[in-house]
Amino acid sequence: MPFIRVQHPLHFDYVKDLWFIKQAQYEIDTYGTDESDNLKLSSFRNMREKGIQEFERDVTLKCLRHRWWYLKNNYKNWVTLKITSRGG
């Protein structure tokens, strides 16, 4: 019976978040965003392929979309906090 290596899915940490942000910026600069300022599906597919090559772990498109929304919302919250703290 052959040995089967199990590939665990990609889990994000601060290093992978930084990689994700750089890849997302490249995709935005190259291909732009859709009408709702989200990454295009083709950009998520490109990032998925690059993630598999870089980290040798599979990542779903759903996971990438959720990470995009999470980081985008955190950035919006940070900007709001920064603006309100200056006006205080």
- Averages of pLDDT over each 10 residues, the chain, 88 residues: 58 88 94 91 95 88 92 91 81
* 84: exposed, middle or buried (Cβ count in 10 Å: 0-12, 13-18, 19+): exposed
Whether residue 37 lies inside any domain: the answer is no
Report pLDDT for 25.
94
Tell me, what's the pLDDT at 4?
56
Half-sphere exposure of 8 (CA within 13 A, CB side): 3
Q: How many degrees, rounded to 5, is the angle at CA 49 between CA 35 and CA 54? A: 125
**Domain assignment of residue 13, yes or no:** no
Classify residue 87: in a domain, yes or no.
yes
Is residue 71 assigned to a domain? yes
Domain housing 85:
61-88
Residue 70 lies in a domain: yes
> What pTM value is reported for the model?
0.77
Instruction: Name the domain count of the chain.
Output: 1
| Residues 13 and 71: beta-carbon distance below 8 Å | no
In a domain, 82, yes or no: yes
